Amino acid sequence: MTLTLAGTGTIGTFTAGAITGKWTFDYSGTSLVDGTYTFTINSLDLAGNFAATPFNVTVDNAAAAPVFTAIADDTGTSSTDRITRDSQILLSGTAEANSTLTLRTGSGGGPIIGTTTANGSGNWTFDYTGTTLGDGVYAFFASIIDLAGNTSAVSSPGFTVTADRPGRGERYFPGGRVRIEHR
Ligand SMILES: [Ca+2]
Ligand SMILES: [Ca+2]
């Protein structure tokens, strides 16, 4: 049998165990940079049948910090300023595909508020609606663990959200907040 690596060529020639049919090939002397590699085992059995069986190996030693892109609902005149009267929000963003995110608030080392998973396209949403935000400015941070087990740094700077709910004597109208004077 021969073992080939796409782009490299034949990397080994050997014979499978006569009884077990098993084989092992030690390729640990070669360091593979990050990427996807296609190995193909080419075998010729005793009856003269040829078979080529490919399999892919992905080497991944990197994990980038995830990115926050938006909150929902982002109320008011701007839907992108992260100033909202919605006190129960969804956070969303992008990260390495299929990675698992850990979200924190307060600071990069602040308390964990939960986890979520990026989909195959690298998009993620975190449902924070179980927590009601009082008026104030909140900073959110996240890190990932990817499918290969790499841990990223914590995102920085913090993704800030300003929660500003109607106070007493105030009412919201489309486009802004109006203070209702009581006489
Ligand atoms: Ca990775
Ligand atoms: Ca807004």
For 111-134, the pLDDT digits (tens) are 999 999 999 999 999 999 999 999
Measured CA to CA, the distance from residue 57 to residue 65 in angstroms comes to 24
Q: Which of 6, 121, 1 is nearest to 57 (CA)?
A: 6
**Domain boundaries along the sequence of the chain:** 2-59, 67-167
Write down the pTM of the prediction: 0.80
Neighbours of ion ligand 2 (CB under 5 A): 74, 76, 78, 81, 83
Count each helix (H run) and each strand (E run) in the chain, helices first: 0, 14
Q: List, in sequence order, every residue forming a beta bridge with 42; answer none if it has no partner.
A: 2, 52
For 53-88, the pLDDT digits (tens) are 999 999 999 999 999 999 999 999 999 999 999 999
Q: Are 97 and 120 in contact (CB under 8 A)?
A: yes
Query: How many Å lie between the centroid of ligand 2 and the Cα of residue 44?
Result: 67
Instruction: Specify the CATH architecture of the domain 67-167.
Output: Sandwich (2.60)
